[in-house]
Amino acid sequence: MAGKRFAFNVQRTLVLTTDDTIFQIRPATNQRLLLERLIIMGKSNTATDTPVEFELVRQTSDGTGGSSVTVRKIDNDIASSLNLTVEQGDYSTEPTDGGDIPFNLYVHPQSRIELVFPFGREFVIGSGERLGLKAINPAQASEFVFQVEGVE
């Protein structure tokens, strides 16, 4: 592993009462990724909104219709480019879940939650794997911002 640190942001308005893949991360062939941080921030100003359930889930297909996300290098001193792929939602066909859900959490649309994986305990996305973040059946349309940092 070359140790190329990366980051990306996705902003989405969740679709009402529909499971919705926010983004999917795929490492390049014969590489793995270490997920260091995931931040979920709601943008609502309504205190009575219902919390939204999110799942970090291993997926077995890419889905259809996702659009690419710009992934930035955090350390520009490393000359080589990043090789991972990140796509965001508006899928016409949702990616298929593999049944492995490492994390499940609820976030209120007015709040923020940050998952930090400490050094040596980063979340590993193996070669050939896909990791998606899904919103599960939100009760109302809510806008969220998602920030991810990791190492390729």
Is residue 106 scored above 50 in pLDDT?
A: yes
Q: What are phi and psi of 82, to 5 degrees?
A: -80, 145
In a domain, 8, yes or no: no
In a domain, 148, yes or no: no
80, 143 in Cβ contact below 8 A?
Answer: no
In a domain, 11, yes or no: no
Which pLDDT score is estimated for 137? 80
In a domain, 7, yes or no: no
In a domain, 97, yes or no: yes
Is residue 118 scored above 50 in pLDDT?
A: yes
State the total domains in the chain: 1
What percentage of the chain reaches a pLDDT higher than 70? 99
Is residue 99 scored above 60 in pLDDT?
A: yes
Neighbouring residues of 118: CB distance < 8 A, sequence distance ≥ 6? none
How many C-beta atoms lie closer than 10 Å to residue 148's C-beta?
A: 23
In a domain, 151, yes or no: no
Distance in angstroms (rounded) separating the CA atoms of residues 113 and 147:
11
Q: Which domain holds residue 112?
A: 17-139
In a domain, 123, yes or no: yes
Assign 1 a pLDDT band (cuts: 50, 70, 90): very low
Assign 120 a pLDDT band (cuts: 50, 70, 90): confident
What pLDDT, in 10s, does the model give residues 41-85? 999 988 899 999 999 999 999 989 889 999 999 988 877 889 999
